[in-house]
Amino acid sequence: IVNGKGLCHRHYQQFNRYGKSFTNEGHKKIVPKFYCVEDGYSEKRELVQYCGVHAVKHKNDTEAQCFEPRCRDNIFKDGKCAIHYYDSPRRGE
């Protein structure tokens, strides 16, 4: 959805707040609490302080569970269980 000034909602809000819109890297410098703590990586947090990829690396395999709501299966790949991974439209990106 495009708002005024031809920007999506997220970038429109950034434009209103900061006077310009940012890439993920630029926004991470201003508000680091929303992004993965790994250096050089600007994905949104999914679990505590890590994105899905890094959360799997930093957790025990016995504790790692699918990030989909109400799913308790073990992680297969990219923070998702096998069922959610193969059902997801973003697979392979």
End-to-end C-alpha distance for the chain, whole angstroms? 22
Residue among 18, 48, 11 nearest 57 (CA): 48
Please give the Cα distance from 19 to 16 (Å, whole number). 6
Q: Hey, where are the domains in the chain?
A: 1-34, 35-93
Model's pTM, two decimal places?
A: 0.43
Q: What is the pLDDT along the chain (93 residues), one digit of tens a residue?
A: 566 667 888 788 888 888 887 777 787 777 777 777 777 777 777 766 777 777 767 665 556 677 777 887 776 677 777 777 778 776 554
Please give the Cα distance from 32 to 87 (Å, whole number). 31
Please give the Cα distance from 14 to 81 (Å, whole number). 34
So what's the pLDDT on residue 11? Answer: 81
Please give the Cα distance from 62 to 64 (Å, whole number). 6
So what's the pLDDT on residue 59? Answer: 65
